[in-house]
Amino acid sequence: MTVKLALSARNRLCIQNMAAALYVAWCAFAAASPAEAQTSVARPPLLVAQSQPQQAVPQGQTFEEEIIPQRYANNPDVDGFINDMVARYDFDPTALHALFAGVSYSATAVKLVTPAPSTAPSVKNWRSYQARFLDPIRINAGVRFWRNNQATLQRAYEQFGVPPEVIVGILGVETIYGRFMGNFRVLDALTTLAFDYPNTPNRADREQTFRKNLEDYLVWTRDSQIDPTSVLGSYTGAIGIPQFLPSSIVQYAISYDGNKQIDLRNSQADAIGSVANYLKQNGWENGRPVVWNIGSDAGSQGIAQAGADGQPEPHWPLEQLLHAGMLLDQPGLDMNAEAATPVTIIDLPTPGMPTEYKLGLKNFYVLTRYNRSFFYALSVYQLGERIKAQLEASGDLDNHGAPGSTPPGLVPQGAVPPGSMAPGALPQGAMPPNSVTRNSMPPSSMPAGSLPPSSAPATMAVPPSASPMPPPMGMPAPAPDSSDSQ
């Protein structure tokens, strides 16, 4: 027994000596110069926990971000990009080479922008998507945000004509008012997607988009005296409470808190003013609605189904849809005054249920410029309306959604513009709006040579005025996935 114990101790000593030798060898390897390390066998990716993803996850749950350091040092594509930045924006080439030598490849960003492989088409689910964003957490957080920023929201309304409920809806859907803004290094995410975008059919276009955003990011951080390695955001490089990509920051972001420094991550006022400015610059129409409800009868639903072509830009004249037999569920709407108004048909499919349809106006299209998804735009609108209704019910707002009287020259959303007829006041001989039927359009409003409503075709051709959809802001929706976004 004594001999066996002695041998065991001797074996343990040998093992300890071997471990020490291996440790010394590892230290020598780790101390190798960068050039030596790049020629050695590649090591496994580092794993860095992201503790604050863009979406709420069960408490304590995180996911890991895979990064590979030093991938962009001595990279020919990156070197060409650096040369272009030096020529166009007078950057210091040495500083840029040093900066990109410290950039890490984000395998997580690549994974998240790669479509899931599937032989079956994705199934869109409006009700599931809607429930995700019109939840008590977002509504209650929106009520608090509105109360805390009421003066700033009203100031933005007066300056830009964008109602508070629309701004509050966007910020709630994007990040729950700054709760989930992303903890990816923006420089890593943009560089990865600019030079290593996954092999998808739209790879060339997407790489070009991210290179432009990387370019604008470097210019913005330099001019704003911000350390480009310090900014955190989403896996696509979207930044702050409103999730602006750098190109949108350069074009639309404003300082709205008086300090002349744009800070979309920490300044709620800057987020409010920047969203309002973005929507205004993209064509928001003050005092105009976002959507109209379509009648639930089979005829109206069939016409909506035939005309739903997926284009967000309004291109169907309302008159044409009414002439075909569509009814609207919009009490008080003056159909004659709105006959020439262009609309788009919003389709909202849910598996196992009849597809829902609505008419989208110009302001709905503007919301799709923030994110091209129909589901996203309608969720923003509905979330804002829910929050507004809760504040009105509690007495925090008047019936216009404002803390006080309506500012001179401004019309709250849904109100009648000055000089126009109030709801229910019709020109002599006009039919009451609520009594619109398939045959209620005045004969003079029918296009020459058109079919009478009773013989309207079951399918409708896209009007010639329909134009291709311009590229949206390009901001990623934080929560939708390929299975239920549209």
Domains within the chain, CATH numbers bracketed: 76-282 (1.10.8.350)
> pLDDT means per 10 residues in the chain (486 residues)?
42 47 42 33 32 36 56 94 98 98 95 84 92 98 98 98 99 98 97 96 96 99 97 98 98 96 97 99 98 98 97 98 97 96 98 98 98 98 98 83 44 38 36 33 35 38 42 40 42
pLDDT of residue 370: 97
pLDDT of residue 67: 62
Q: What is the DSSP letter of 417?
A: P
CA dihedral for 325, 330, 332, 333, sign (positive or negative): negative
β strands within 184-268, DSSP E:
184-185, 232-233
Q: What is the pTM of this model?
A: 0.73
196-204: long-range contacts, CB 8 A cutoff, minimum separation 24: 196/71, 196/105, 196/110, 197/110, 197/113, 198/110, 198/113, 198/114, 200/114, 200/115
**Residue 130 carries which side chain, given as an amino acid letter?**
Q
* Cα distance between residue 405 and residue 204, in whole Å: 51
Which token pair is 168? 């509050």
Q: Which residues contact 263 (CB under 8 A, 6 or more apart)?
A: 240, 255, 270
What region does 105 belong to: left with phi over 0, alpha with psi -120 to 50, or beta? Answer: beta
Do residues 188 and 67 make contact, with C-beta atoms less than 8 angstroms apart? Answer: yes
pLDDT of residue 114: 94
* Residues noted as catalytic: 174
* Cα distance between residue 413 and residue 448, in whole Å: 35
- CA torsion, ordered 168, 169, 172, 174, to nearest 10 deg: -120
424-433: long-range contacts, CB 8 A cutoff, minimum separation 24: 424/332, 426/334, 426/336, 427/336, 430/336, 431/335, 433/330, 433/331, 433/332, 433/333, 433/334, 433/335
**Residue 53 carries which side chain, given as an amino acid letter?**
P
Do residues 157 and 402 make contact, with C-beta atoms less than 8 angstroms apart? Answer: yes
Cα 119 to the center of its chain, rounded Å? 27
* Cα distance between residue 417 and residue 249, in whole Å: 33
pLDDT of residue 485: 44
For the chain, how long is the longest CA-to-CA vector? 117
